[in-house]
Chain A
């Protein structure tokens, strides 16, 4: 409950954060809301030698209308996503999902950038952004690159971010009239999901799964079945295909597979898929 010693640096700008990252290399970690990183450090499961605090970079906290999408600064906290009228109208799935993260303290501190960069398959926002078909803007010394959410999550707690890159913006397409649903299954209100399902309807329906493998993942078989005209119930039966759900204190893999099917069926029903 007491972290290993570390050096603390505060970045005054995104550029400074990036150059500090480049300078300290693998030994450094960016500190945003701290609600994933600090618990790991306190348990000494993470022992970065240098913490680069980007928490004060106000310029990275925004929610803007980008025309066909909404652009969200990486340091926007969950609470702001939850309360944003723009998101509530244009990407309701995201503000709804943000509202289910942890408890109010967590939502006031945790950031969307931190949640995505942490790439925890049990977290809500990564799967939501994946289900929405979002794009991540990643900035390094050479400038920015844009990564589809589908390409961002590469492994358990691993992302396509290079050690000296900062996640700066998240772009989520407006969902317009599409149906949507986020089904979170947990034991206590403030807990991580045992399994959750994000669904967005449309000509290309998207279904994303929480805690069904090493990364947030799409229910590819379900999506394909829907495109080829299967009923929601039929498609939902395929939700666990190709997944590798973990065993942990809350659930075993076959129970998770069962939950994925039930929750997908419910998500599709709520999203209006017949």
Chain B
């Protein structure tokens, strides 16, 4: 039996649990200085002066650096489709655009001296009018963050390419809804260390960085520093979580090299939690205008989604996410008559980046809310409305209104499984019983049927398998884990293909000196692309080994049989005479010519994981408080290589998804001051607020890669948020509430009940 598909425990964990992981903050770096950033305390202002003298005089301060001391270009916007006038200086030059923006940096011998010195850097600000809400950024008289850009719009997708006609609809429902800004909040904040090896023209920049992929960062450093690849090394050891937020490029990371060059010593930096919550990117942040129309018998015939994406102060990946929202705009439903437009606007807030799901949860939240609003309007059960509009299982490959081609799916089956596990009929009966009794513990049932896109955007991944003299295998992968468990699954793949036990397989990643190429671990792409690359590399190693075995056994290559179960080669007909991996490895060692299987894999298309989530909540109608009592999840990500790890991914995603629905929101006051800059104020969900998750397995292999695998990393967040949100609204629907924006805090629910219309919705 293959090791694939088994719940193999994580190889990574023993070291991590014993505190033997390599996290950058814990590394000994001889002679390193500590960088502490002086950050803007004002959302929008001109800098009139920066006084560093007092800070320089403090004991233990080696240097204080401002924009004037740095000879590096601004970071250009992430993509050519963004407004080019919205580049980001590494340190604020004359204008600050959000609270938390780096203005200066102090270098100290001791880490504890950093904040003391930073307090002594006196920055004089002339306040400018701030733009805090994304809608106000569009006002005709809105202050401009970048006057040279001419407007606050950093990226626009106009409706010309996708228009919907509502003229034939019996029913049209409109709603403005918000998909609030949240903080990725990884346990490990951002951390990095930089130094230079060698002298002068030969010197090489080394950056240790907790990130999602080393080569994209290397490329950025090459661009900014004007260095060739062989003079920039990026290394990423263990990473304590990221959720998308460590994927882009931050000024702090780029600056460390320049700081190190200035002082001739290594420079290290670990941000504080408050910095993490205010200066690392945030996620989501869309205002969505939805319009849904259709027939009274439940057929949705037209759908429009207009998005205003809050990009924060400098357009980063977040400004591009409306493209992802667009690609999945109609979700699991067959609605060819659909429209999409978006504007990404800059505001005086923390830049928005990718966060678990990145643009797809926003699409799912919009269409899943819209389906419920439509169902309420026509008085039909939300499950039934969904059923009547699913893309049928025999319609794949299916191309949606945005031109996205889905590989395969079975949406109704997923819904059936989820509803059956939930006991949907009984839940509805119990809900009705409570409503009749006027129970103040109202029951709500929320559905979300979703499809998302993974391994998108083209590009491939590298993998290699090298047979070592002792018969063990060294696996190199381009994909850079930050908690997912790549080493475990890659070892399973190689073990399954070579017949070598997992203990004899070593996986390495995250070092531009060791790995020739890599993209980021993101968009749930790793297993499908990098996993397949490793799978192919192992296959290639078998081919090479077969040739060596033929030489060794003095037989023709066609006659060599590879016995995968025992990891050996023999000549057809004489299985007693064989050569093992270890023997081949040792033989190759003699020649100095090790056997290395190499592969690059890119898929012919993206894959489309899908599923159905059902949330059951109890709402205390007196206080507005919500108890999430059940969360039932069917997540189909094609072939599952390791159910334990897949389950871990889904559990974390469900928790974060439920948290967005119920608890989490990054907030600012009217002047752009952050109100959620520590974990007392920013409410990350804990196990106490969550039920035992009920997962129902479903696997529909994709034809797009040889493993049949789709991504599983983000689905939890995509389905759970609308399911939980819909459940809360469903609980109070009989009281006249048709929508509440997330997070559905007790006060928001209570206010919705206060404001409810006196007439219940017409059936």
Contacts and interface: CB of A to CB of B under 8 A. Distances in A.
A250 B114 CA distance: 33
Contacts of B203: none
B681 interface: yes
B115 A2 contact: yes
Contacts of A188: 663, 683, 685-686, 688-689
Contact of A189 (B625, B686, B751): B686
A189 B623 contact: no
Contacts of A1: 272-274
Contacts of B119: 44
A184 to B, nearest CB: 12
Nearest to B688: A189
A170 B115 CA distance: 39
B747 A255 contact: yes
A44 B688 CA distance: 30
A39 B680 contact: yes
Interface string A163-195: 000000000000000000000010111111010
B678 A252 contact: no
B746 interface: yes
Contacts of A185: 623, 625, 746
Nearest to B440: A262
B686 A2 contact: no
B435 interface: no
B600 to A, nearest CB: 43
Contacts, number: 58
Contacts of B580: none
Contacts of B675: 249
B116 interface: yes
A161 to B, nearest CB: 25
Interface in A7-51: 39, 43-44
Interface string B732-763: 00000000000001110011000000000000
B43 to A, nearest CB: 18
A250 B272 contact: no
Interface string A188-213: 11111010000000000000000000
A167 B272 CA distance: 34
A251 interface: yes
Contact of B689 (A39, A44, A189): A189
Contacts of A192: 680
A58 interface: no
A187 B746 contact: yes
Given A43-B678, A258-B750, A187 B745 contact: yes
Contact of B663 (A187, A252, A259): A187
Given A2-B272, A188-B663, A251 B747 contact: yes
A1 B189 CA distance: 12
Interface string B68-79: 000000000000
Interface residues of A, number: 24
A2 B625 CA distance: 36
B689 A5 contact: no
Nearest to B118: A2
A2 B274 contact: no
A187 B686 CA distance: 11
A270 B76 CA distance: 62
A223 to B, nearest CB: 22
Contact of B623 (A4, A39, A262): A262
A46 to B, nearest CB: 14
Between A44, A185, A255, the greatest number of chain B beta carbons within 10 A of the residue's beta carbon is seen for: A255
B623 A2 contact: no
B99 to A, nearest CB: 15
B12 to A, nearest CB: 26
B622 interface: yes
A78 B678 CA distance: 24
B356 to A, nearest CB: 20
A265 B545 CA distance: 78
Contacts of B667: 249
Given A1-B274, A262-B622, A187 B115 contact: no
A252 B685 CA distance: 22
B111 A255 contact: no
B389 interface: no
Most chain A CB neighbours (cut-off 10 Å) among B112, B115, B273, B676? B115
A186 to B, nearest CB: 9
B184 to A, nearest CB: 18
Nearest to B751: A255
A194 B750 CA distance: 14
A46 B270 CA distance: 23
Contacts of B686: 188-190
A262 B116 CA distance: 47
B683 A191 contact: yes
Given A188-B688, A249-B676, A258-B623, 18 more contacts: A1-B274, A2-B111, A39-B680, A43-B274, A44-B119, A187-B746, A188-B663, A188-B685, A188-B689, A189-B688, A189-B689, A190-B688, A250-B745, A251-B746, A251-B747, A255-B747, A259-B623, A262-B622
17 contacts: A1-B274, A2-B114, A2-B115, A2-B272, A4-B116, A5-B112, A5-B116, A43-B274, A43-B678, A187-B625, A187-B745, A188-B685, A188-B689, A189-B686, A190-B686, A252-B747, A262-B622
Interface of A: 1-2, 4-5, 39, 43-44, 185, 187-192, 194, 249-252, 255, 258-259, 262-263
**Shortest 3 CB-CB contacts between residues of A and residues of B:** A189-B688, A1-B272, A2-B115
